């Protein structure tokens, strides 16, 4: 079937809830899914033992202590049981539509890269996996959420074994541009790169701060480790640059992708401005003691 691998933040506070929910959602995808968790982050070993997933301790690290992207991709392919792998951010909840899309793409191409956009959903508690309707409830909630994630953010990358074994930079695996560099490399090497956003609902719960890639709320220190990508930003592609798209009918050419990329960035900028406006109103009402502070922010759900 498929080998999924990731590196986690320390399992503390709300981050522990979101990461555990993501890992458990991957376990429900298929009975033959292999999951590999890299790193020595607090709680990683205990959670791996609890869930029965493969734990890979003592990885090679960057100077600031992050798991190195080149090491993780090489090691994951070395120990993978299957001919296709998926690197996913450890807060990404995947549903059965992900497997459906993967099976379709793998059946068409011997070598491929598959990616897709994520959607932010605010969850205040762990998912109730014992509820047979948990997936339906999550899908309905995702439809009502207003999400403001950058169109350049990539939550998962599926690829055929043998890709990304050479020339992967020794940068932090969780660096914002690492996935975009991997997309560029696939496109530059003329591998079939497919955008599955139309067919896959990938749900993320993550707080991001500009200039860093760690949450301070859960004990992680903000850091600005230099990201040295071979070729700089010109070797950094977004999902909109994928030459192909997966639709309900077939894999088709991704025509007009530059226009869509521009439109998505404009929409993202407008959404960020609107969110900042509502946050300002909420803060002013809160500090002045005026009523109406409830419900100004986005929807949340308790499980």
What are the DSSP calls for 124-160, one per residue? SS---TTSTTHHHHHHHHHHH------TT---EEEEE
Total structural domains in the chain? 1
Which whole number is the average pLDDT over 79-93? 96
Asked if the model's pLDDT at residue 237 lies above 50, the reply is: yes
16: confidence class by pLDDT, cuts 50, 70, 90: very high
**Would strands 112-116 and 156-164 be described as parallel, antiparallel, or unpaired?**
antiparallel
- 299 lies in some domain: no
The whole domain housing 14 covers 3-257
- The 10s digit of each residue's pLDDT in 197-221 is 999 999 987 544 333 444 333 333 3
Asked if the model's pLDDT at residue 77 lies above 70, the reply is: yes
Query: In whole angstroms, what is the distance from residue 127 CA to residue 134 CA?
Result: 7
Question: What pTM was estimated for this model as a whole?
Answer: 0.80
Asked if the model's pLDDT at residue 146 lies above 80, the reply is: no
Q: Which bin fits 42, alpha (ψ -120 to 50), beta or left (φ > 0)?
A: beta
Which whole number is the average pLDDT over 104-117? 96
Asked if the model's pLDDT at residue 253 lies above 80, the reply is: yes
CATH of the domain at 150: 3.90.550
284: confidence class by pLDDT, cuts 50, 70, 90: low
- 129 lies in some domain: yes
Tokens representing 14 are 């709300």
Residue 210 CB partners (closer than 8 Å, separation 6+): none
**Would strands 34-38 and 3-7 be described as parallel, antiparallel, or unpaired?**
parallel
Q: Are 168 and 74 in contact (CB under 8 A)?
A: yes
- For the chain, the average pLDDT equals 82
- 192 lies in some domain: yes
- 196 lies in some domain: yes
- 245 lies in some domain: yes
If we measure between CA atoms, which residue out of 58, 100, 92 comes closest to residue 75?
58
- The 10s digit of each residue's pLDDT in 22-67 is 999 999 999 999 999 999 999 999 999 999 999 999 999 988 888 9
Strands (E) in 60-111, as ranges, are 84-88, 92-93
- 293 lies in some domain: no
- 24 lies in some domain: yes
- 170 lies in some domain: yes
């Amino acid at each position: 079937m498929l080998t999924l691998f990731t590196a986690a933040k320390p399992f503390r506070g709300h981050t522990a809830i979101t990461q555990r929910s993501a890992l458990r959602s991957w376990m429900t995808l298929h009975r033959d899914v292999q999951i590999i968790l890299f790193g020595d982050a607090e709680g990683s070993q205990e959670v791996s033992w609890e869930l029965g997933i493969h734990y890979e301790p003592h990885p090679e690290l960057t100077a600031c202590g992050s798991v190195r992207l080149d090491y993780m991709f090489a090691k994951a392919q070395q120990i993978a049981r299957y001919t296709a792998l998926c690197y996913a951010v450890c807060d990404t909840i995947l549903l059965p539509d992900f497997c459906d899309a993967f099976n379709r793409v793998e059946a068409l191409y011997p070598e491929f890269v598959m990616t897709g956009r994520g959607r932010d959903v605010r969850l205040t508690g762990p998912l109730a996996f014992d509820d047979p309707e948990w997936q339906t409830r999550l899908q309905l909630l995702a439809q009502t959420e207003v999400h403001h994630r950058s169109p350049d953010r990539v939550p998962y990358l599926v690829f055929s074994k043998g890709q990304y074994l050479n020339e992967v930079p020794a940068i932090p695996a969780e660096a914002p541009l690492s996935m975009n560099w991997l997309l560029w490399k696939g496109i530059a090497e003329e591998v079939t790169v497919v955008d599955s956003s139309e067919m896959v609902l990938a749900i993320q719960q993550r707080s991001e701060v500009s200039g860093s890639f760690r949450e301070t709320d859960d004990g992680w220190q903000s850091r600005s480790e230099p990201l040295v990508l071979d070729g700089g930003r010109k070797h950094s592609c977004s999902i909109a640059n994928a030459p192909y798209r997966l639709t309900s009918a077939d894999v088709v050419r991704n025509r007009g992708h530059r226009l869509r990329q521009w439109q998505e960035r404009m929409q993202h900028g407008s959404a960020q401005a609107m969110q900042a406006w509502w946050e300002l109103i909420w803060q002013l009402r809160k500090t002045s003691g005026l009523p109406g502070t409830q419900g100004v922010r986005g929807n949340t759900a308790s499980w």
